[in-house]
Amino acid sequence: MSFNSVFLLFFVAFVALLVAGGWITRKWVTGSNDYFIAGREVGLLVNIFGVAAIGFAGTIITLGPGLAIMTGFWGSFGFGLIYGIGGLALYGLIFAPYIRRSGAHTLSEWLEMRFDKRTRTLVTVATILGLLGIMANNVMSMAIVTTSFTGWPLLATLSAIFAMFLLFTYIGGFWAVTLTDFMQMVIGLIALPVMLIAIISKFGGLSTATSGWPGPGSYWTSGIAGGELPILSLQYPSVLTFSILFACFLVWGNNYYWLRVSSTRSERTAKLSFVFGALLLVLVPITVLAFTGLYAGSVMGDQFLPYGTVDPTAAFGVVLRTLPIVIAAFALLGALAASISTSTTALIGASSTAVRDLYQRYVRPNATSKELKVPSKVITMILGLVVWLLCFYPGGPLYLFAFSTAWLGAPSILVFLGMWWKRTTKTGAFYGAVVGISATAVFTVLDLTGVFPLGTYTHVGVVGLLATVLTTVIVSLLTQPDYYAREGFEGATDMTNSFSDEEKRVLTYIHYGYDTMAEISDMLGVDSSVSNKIIEDLDQRHVIGRKKYSGPGFYTFHIREDIEPDAYLPEGSHRYAADRLTENDFTFLEKLRGGMDALNSYVKEKEFDSLHASAILSKLIKQGYLAEKGLWRRHVTLSPQGKEVLEKYNFSSDPIKPELQQTPAGG
């Protein structure tokens, strides 16, 4: 069989797999909360593969072998370490706990919580543009690679790819993306090692490959033309510019990594999935692609610039041409799967921001998650079609990808400063974003048009970084900080026991163990910017306190000891107070006597929002009443402590009365 026939068989099977994934997950989507963050149910192993799948993309496939040819093995592997460890793993360790506790579905939503609406709106537009640029470049690049092998028409190939991932994304949303990310990463983890084994079988061991290295230096640190990867150079590529672009900008300021955290079952799952996902990415795709570049440079070095005519970034395709048809077709499918995985995640990242931060805020502010389900799907389709059109704009994908650095650079700086420097002010953040985005965009245009060749001096990302940091810090120091950064705040004692109904509700949640912003927002069923205003008011009046005023502890709360429970707890709510259980908490435990199906039937009957139910389960797990498992969807069972508390109340002389059971909104 020809290469085209084999690849077509693989491709059709792959399409069927993706569509099946979308079809399976469609029933898991009851509203926009399921569509965009999977109801906060994604487990550890699935998210590990999801994080790694985002990184295993078209950029890695081209830059991995290409950098090995241009700068040696450590240039390529170093790039992977910077992205994997400096970007993903560090994101999991220092950002994920904070993000998960904040409850914000999107990065832009958090910007309003921490700063204000104008910063949220500005970054929302910037995020959408940046993600569309990444998506357009990624899909177009892989379509070009595919057509170069198959000879298929570019328009037909590109359209087929778009139709495929738009269909399953439309059907199942983030659940479909998560499921297919898992499958796509499995394909990649098989395809790349098989490809490397085939390369070794054809050309011999590493000693054979390195003996033909044409460069004047060592293949470890020098490219085929003697090029090396500098460390502190302001010009691209270097370790410094890699760190700015591929660790800071493209990870820390990227909404789809934020979604990966928001969708997890717990803070622990979020943190560990990024750390292990980074290690998986470094150990398999990055390592294999670096060695692929070594073989390409050694065995076929005369084909690449400056000796030949082929750009080193095309090394992956050049190597595939030398392998057996079945292996080459499977490896190309793995690359295509990786590209689609990242593109669909970028699409969900852009559409979630458009729905949550634009449509819901300005068009339907009072819409429920269920009412937003159809608009979410429609907006996802519209954005997908926009990207499809942008791929055909002259120079579109390249220009858009260059601009994406500008759009994602400023948010990454604001995220870091906003989380860890409490002196960052609303005004400083807004003008930092304006100046950072504007400076990067302007210099990108000047550089691409040749008016001012900035690239001969430094990379535009360095300009964006300095502009954002300096503006944010200077303006913040010159303007009034938030209340918690003012001198003497923590020593004040102006408390009051007069509370509104909303404040009583929030205090009741905290009293019973719903003590993070994520849990409070999910129980209230509101945007976290709404619950944040209530929390800030209570905090300023010293009714509640935060665990810390920077880092993850910023979104963990406790009620001050001087506040009497009678001031906020509703009458008759003390039935299970000794065990920190609400009526709904206890009902969930009771239903679980009949298993997960019984609980799901109850949740459906009472029309609990998925995040409301998830918050109750998470709290009960945290308190030790439930044990958690489940590869895909969360599956919980009663722990010994849970069985004990049920026995304690069910066998008392005061049985549960149906009229005391509250509605879902009652918490």
Three-class SS state of 568:
coil
pLDDT of 546 over the 80 cut: yes
Which residue intervals of 82-153 are DSSP H helices?
90, 96-102, 107-114, 117-150
Dihedral pair phi/psi, residue 368, rounded to 5°: -85, 170
Q: At what angle do helices 373-390 and 325-354 cross, to 10 degrees?
A: 120
pLDDT of 661 over the 80 cut: no
Q: How far is CA 546 from CA 268, 345, 417, 536, in A?
A: 20, 34, 19, 10
CA-wise closest residue to 625 among 636, 613, 638, 634: 638
Which residue intervals of 151-214 are DSSP H helices?
154-203, 206-211
Q: Tell me how crowded residue 190 is: count the other CB atoms within 10 A of its CB.
A: 14
Beta strands in 255-398 (DSSP E): none
CA distance 317 to 288: 14
Percent residues over pLDDT 70 in the chain:
93
The reported pTM is: 0.89
Three-class SS state of 600:
helix
Residues 6+ apart with CB under 8 A from 636: 592, 596, 599, 617, 620, 621, 626, 627, 628, 629, 630
- Between 527 and 652, where is the model more confident? 527
Mean pLDDT for the stretch of residues 135-144: 75
pLDDT of 433 over the 60 cut: yes
- Find how far residue 231's CA is from the centre of its chain: 28
pLDDT of 233 over the 80 cut: yes
- The secondary structure of 608-622 as a DSSP string is --HHHHHHHHHHHHH
Token pair recorded at residue 297:
């440079």
Q: How far is CA 581 from CA 55, 101, 249, 586, 624, in A?
A: 42, 21, 43, 6, 12
* H-helix or E-strand spanning residue 82: none
Please state, rounded to an integer, the average pLDDT across all residues of the chain: 87
Distance between start and end Cα atoms, the chain: 63
Three-class SS state of 525:
coil
Q: Tokens 């709290």, residue? A: 619
pLDDT of 460 over the 60 cut: yes
Q: Tokens 């819409």, residue? A: 367
Residue 491: pLDDT band (50, 70, 90) is: low
CA distance 171 to 462: 40
pLDDT at position 658 = 38
CA–CA–CA angle 470, 476, 479 (5° rounding): 140
24: exposed, middle or buried (Cβ count in 10 Å: 0-12, 13-18, 19+): middle
572 Rama class: left (phi>0) / alpha (psi -120 to 50) / beta: left
pLDDT of 573 over the 80 cut: no
Which residue intervals of 512-661 are DSSP H helices?
517-524, 528-540, 583-591, 596-605, 610-622, 640-650
Give tens-digit pLDDT for 193-208.
Answer: 999 999 999 998 888 7
Asked whether 210 and 66 are in contact (CB, 8 A), the reply is: no
Q: Tell me how crowded residue 255 is: count the other CB atoms within 10 A of its CB.
A: 30
Asked whether 482 and 425 are in contact (CB, 8 A), the reply is: yes
Strands 557-559 and 544-546: antiparallel
Give the range among 47-61, 126-140, 317-331, 511-525 with minimum mean pLDDT. Answer: 126-140
Asked whether 227 and 71 are in contact (CB, 8 A), the reply is: yes
Asked whether 300 and 320 are in contact (CB, 8 A), the reply is: no
- Between 478 and 211, where is the model more confident? 478
Of the ranges 437-441, 485-489, 554-558, the best mean pLDDT one: 554-558
- Between 657 and 587, where is the model more confident? 587
Dihedral pair phi/psi, residue 564, rounded to 5°: -80, 135
Three-class SS state of 89:
helix
* H-helix or E-strand spanning residue 341: helix 325-354
Strands 635-638 and 626-629: antiparallel
pLDDT at position 103 = 93
Mean pLDDT for the stretch of residues 502-522: 95
pLDDT at position 402 = 59
Give the range among 170-174, 344-348, 652-656 with minimum mean pLDDT. Answer: 652-656
* H-helix or E-strand spanning residue 464: helix 460-478
Give tens-digit pLDDT for 239-278.
Answer: 999 999 889 988 998 888 999 999 999 999 999 999 999 9
- Between 280 and 138, where is the model more confident? 280
pLDDT of 664 over the 70 cut: no
pLDDT at position 403 = 60
pLDDT at position 667 = 46
Three-class SS state of 231:
coil
pLDDT of 44 over the 60 cut: yes
Strands 635-638 and 557-559: unpaired
Give tens-digit pLDDT for 214-228.
Answer: 888 889 999 999 999
31 Rama class: left (phi>0) / alpha (psi -120 to 50) / beta: beta
Percent residues over pLDDT 90 in the chain:
49
